Amino acid sequence: MTHVVIRYFWALLIGWWTAIFWFLIGYFLIAIVVTRESGYWVWNKLAFVYSLNNEFEPRNRTFYNKIVTYIWFYLFGWWIGPIVIFLVIFIGIFIIPFRLSEKMVHEIDIVIISS
């Protein structure tokens, strides 16, 4: 595991803008519906891209009511997601809540697809 000081400086210098692009790639893949599983894989790696944190294990989500997740994503998730990612970047600037921002990045898919 990468040391927290290195993770913090990575997130401060490189991770915040790389995470935005990585988030948008996953966002686009999920919006296409056919490539939805690829978008989930991209979002599972988002915490590593943001802060080189690989202690979070990837989740395999099963969606029992896919129509509800589609409706949530297209009505609310598409505009809530960018708000949350920019909030994470703002929180990540400060040292004390940095761990919280890593956790928020890891759980971003819950907000966007309401699983």
Q: What is the pLDDT of residues 14-61, one digit of tens each?
A: 998 999 999 999 989 988 888 888 888 888 888 889 888 887 766 666
Burial call 20-37: b when 16+ CB within 10 Å, e when fewer: bebbebbbebbeeeeebe
| pLDDT band, very low/low/confident/very high, at 63 (cuts 50, 70, 90) | low
CA distance 88 to 68: 26
Question: What are 78's two structure tokens?
Answer: 């598409």
Two structure tokens written together for 69 = 């997740």
pLDDT at residue number 39: 87
Helix axes 36-44, 16-31, angle to 10 degrees: 160
- pLDDT on residue 64: 60
In the numeric block, which tokens belong to residue 73? 């994503």
What is the pLDDT at residue 107?
A: 82
